[in-house]
Amino acid sequence: MSKETSLPLTYKEKAIVFRGGGLGDFILTLPLLAHIRNSYHEVIFLTKPSYFSLVNKREGILELLDLDLGLSQISKRIEGADIFTFWDDVDWKNELQNLGANQIFILPTRPIAGPHIVEAMFEKGSEKISIFDSTINGEVIENSKISVFNDEIYVFTPKGDLIELPINSTPIDFAYSIHSQIGDKCVGAKINEKLQPLKTILKNGDQIEIITSEESQPSPMWERFAATSKVKSQIRRFFRSKKRDEYILFGKEILNSYFLKENYELNSSTLSTIKKEFNINEDDYLYEMIGEGRLTAFAVLKKVYPEFNYKSSTKFKLETKNPIRLKGLTAGMSYHLAGCCSPLKGDTIVGIVTAGIGVAVHTIDCDTLSSYSDHPERWLNISWDSPSQTSILSNSRVSVVLKNQPGSLGKITTIIAKNNGNISNINFTIRKNDFFEIIIDIEVRDANHLKNIIAALRLVSEVSSLERIKG
């Protein structure tokens, strides 16, 4: 190693790195680039603009420039700088020297034989910048490979745009990385032009096409296989907003019905008085509190009309009209099966007490339950009654992605019928030339009955994906 080209252990002032070529060549350069950056106060990196996002986050490059800029536009930056380039051209080197480059280091491209290109670049680069001890070069190289390739993956849009994602990302992460509205309206994905489930783990170099529908909305299950916390947060935010809208509608209905039942008028003037008494600014927030169970219609009525005599009023009767019996409920207590998870007999369930309404029955894995984590007093340990009730059918819902081939729809309807399932509704959510997605409502006896139907449907070659929808 010559004394003239060796660098001291202290930083040098400035380095300029030129890197063209394809994506593969670019990625293979990243380990060396990181260590060049650690040896200089200032590093200017010229490459393709489409690669900028891959450098900013990882390498800490102080400045990124378009590779297509002419030397005349950066001539002042070249003076006194060490140049790292992959172009071994006499005219190119002469031009750099004429502009005042300090040293010009020509790095190897793709060798015909010998070491891996990453190792070749390290060997050449470390010879010039003299910051690696020969005893640890191998470890540095290997660790650099790991740091570059193990943390992220690089995938493409159908137009060829490069997208960086965390490892273990799925099409859901990809969709939301494009735009939140793309994520919210996502109904399917093609990976390398083949339709794949949304929970498929993406790999380096995959090309992803997201299929959307204006009528679609996120599924609570997406949060389970999304890799990024940002996407998980966006999905949760969507459902918080959706829940709020539902609480508002529910609360408005409860309040109006209760006032009507007790022969009191609920008009704009009454609402203004209610909001003033409870220090509430918006009608919707009042309805939300009632719908969520934080405020009862009786408390509202009593506050506005102190003369209201509860004893003389018609009391709310806790009667259940549901023929399916549950263990753990007080005799006569009303309950309903929650629409957010649509529990079936055989599912593990839990009860949530809601004032003035009764008990909402949820599956134990229902995402809605997280909103009640701070209210353990509202939880009931309940279970299905053990006697078989085969005559009672419950509605369930499945989503099927089906190849668009003659007779494919007939096959699945026949299988459902043969397994004693009754189709109550079929809804086509998306139609394409090569596939379509349908939502099927099936009346079944219990969860095991549904599992048997799903298992039989998955044996159909035309079925690309199938899952139970809880909600």
The answer to whether 102 touches 35, Cβ cutoff 8 Å, is no
The answer to whether 230 touches 176, Cβ cutoff 8 Å, is yes
Q: What is the DSSP string of 70-86?
A: -GGGGHHHHTT-EEEES
What pLDDT does residue 131 have? 36
**What is the arithmetic mean of pLDDT over 82-89?**
84
Phi, psi of 188 (to 5 degrees): -170, 175
At residue 344, does pLDDT exceed 80? yes
- Closest by CA position to 319, among listed 308, 329, 304: 329
Q: Select the more confidently predicted residue: 102 or 70.
A: 102
To the nearest whole number, what is the mean pLDDT of the chain? 76
- pLDDT band for 211, please (50, 70, 90 cuts): very high
Helices 52-59 and 23-37 pack at an angle, to 10 degrees, of 30
d(CA 49, CA 69): 11
Cβ atoms within 10 A of the Cβ of 36, count?
24
The answer to whether 430 touches 365, Cβ cutoff 8 Å, is no
What pLDDT does residue 42 have? 81
d(CA 53, CA 308): 66
Amino acid in the structure at residue 166 = P
**What is the arithmetic mean of pLDDT over 332-354?**
82
**What is the arithmetic mean of pLDDT over 49-78?**
74
Largest CA distance in the chain: 102
Distances (CA, A) of 154 to 167, 221, 389: 9, 25, 53
Model confidence over 130-178: pLDDT tens digits? 433 333 344 444 444 444 445 678 888 888 888 888 888 999 999 998 8
The highest-level CATH class for domain 12-149 is alpha beta
In a 10 Å sphere around its CB, with 0-12 CB exposed, 13-18 middle and 19+ buried, how is residue 470 labelled?
buried
Q: Select the more confidently predicted residue: 437 or 319.
A: 437
**What is the arithmetic mean of pLDDT over 199-203?**
91
CA dihedral 450, 453, 459, 461 (to 10 degrees): -100
Model confidence over 394-407: pLDDT tens digits? 888 899 988 888 77
d(CA 279, CA 109): 71
Tokens representing 408 are: 């494919």
What pLDDT does residue 56 have? 54
**What is the arithmetic mean of pLDDT over 364-376?**
81
Q: Which residues pair with 152 in a beta bridge?
A: 166
The answer to whether 133 touches 126, Cβ cutoff 8 Å, is no
Q: Which of 117-121, 122-126, 318-322 has the highest mean pLDDT?
A: 117-121
152-227: CATH topology:
Ubiquitin-like (UB roll) (3.10.20)
In a 10 Å sphere around its CB, with 0-12 CB exposed, 13-18 middle and 19+ buried, how is residue 157 labelled?
middle
**What is the arithmetic mean of pLDDT over 22-51?**
77
Residue identified by tokens 């193990």 is 150
Domain with residues 394-469, CATH architecture: 2-Layer Sandwich (3.30)
For the chain, domain boundaries: 12-149, 152-227, 232-310, 326-384, 394-469
